[in-house]
Amino acid sequence: MTQNATPRRGRPAVPEAELRAKIQQAAFQLLQDKGYAAVSIDEIARMAGVAKKTIYRFHSNKDALIEEIILDWSSTNLLPELAQPRDAGEVIAALEQFFLRLAERVLSMRQVALYKFLQSGIEDKEKFLRIWRDNGIENAAKQLNAWFEQARRQQLIHPDWPVDAAQYLQAMIIAPSLRDISLGLHPPVPEWDIRPRIRQTLRFVAPMLLAPPVR
């Protein structure tokens, strides 16, 4: 009589994404508590409850781990694509949604904690800040500027609207919000409703942004 194979016993394998998130969270907590120079891979492994070799399976060293944290926590490649507008009203509506999604990404509790960490006295600060800027807010600005150009070709954007206008809008909406949250004046998004600030800014720039009506 044929016997069924005995199933293997033991703990199920932890998914790779879960392992990475666990390591990232443990590493960042230690970096916040002890500072960059005082944290070792051994400590991160103990805090995360994983073997040191598990960390080295994903990261060659501590810097590589920090770079992954910055990329995963701040990348704006995950932002939904902006809808192409058909009229001036849709331009403003699309921008409101874009800045709401951007704020949820770059003004979250995790992102604000990362921003504060990057302002501290860490080694290779410029390298880490460059990764944070290039893959976060500057990447979002490139997406938005490309969208503005498409809207300009549709004659929905004022001819004099600057080609790099996304940076100015971000400076008006995101920069002061990040400052206020970092100072404790507001909780992170989404606990703080940033929509009134977004709408106020868009109302202010609308006469400069939108193409003049055809007479």
Q: Is residue 194 part of a domain?
A: yes
Q: Does 122 lie in the same domain as 44?
A: no
Q: Is residue 86 part of a domain?
A: yes
CA atoms within 13 A on the CB side of 20: 15
Q: Is residue 214 part of a domain?
A: no
Q: Does 146 lie in the same domain as 52?
A: no
Residue type, 79: L
Q: Does 144 lie in the same domain as 48?
A: no
Q: Is residue 140 part of a domain?
A: yes
Query: Are the C-beta atoms of residues 121 and 63 closer than 8 Å to each other?
Result: no
Q: Does 101 lie in the same domain as 116?
A: yes
Q: Does 69 lie in the same domain as 142?
A: no
State the Rg of the chain over Cα: 22
- C-alpha 91/C-alpha 96 separation (Å) is 9
Q: Does 105 lie in the same domain as 142?
A: yes
Q: What pLDDT does 35 receive?
A: 87
Q: Final residue of a domain: which of 73, 92, 109?
A: 73
Q: Can you tell me which residue has the tokens 């507008």?
A: 85
Q: Which residues span the domain enclosing 52?
A: 16-73
Overall number of domains in the chain: 2
Q: Does 89 lie in the same domain as 191?
A: yes
Instruction: Point out the residues of the chain with pLDDT beneath 50.
Output: 1-2
Q: Does 22 lie in the same domain as 123?
A: no
Q: What pLDDT does 2 receive?
A: 47
Sign of torsion, CA 54 60 61 66? Answer: negative
Q: Does 118 lie in the same domain as 32?
A: no
Q: Does 93 lie in the same domain as 180?
A: yes
Q: What pLDDT does 213 receive?
A: 78
Query: Are the C-beta atoms of residues 178 and 112 closer than 8 Å to each other?
Result: yes
Q: Is residue 215 part of a domain?
A: no
Residue type, 33: D
**Quick one: DSSP state of residue 157?**
B
pLDDT tens-place string over residues 129-179: 999 999 999 999 999 999 999 999 999 999 999 999 999 999 999 999 999
- C-alpha 110/C-alpha 108 separation (Å) is 5
Q: What is the pTM assigned to this prediction?
A: 0.85
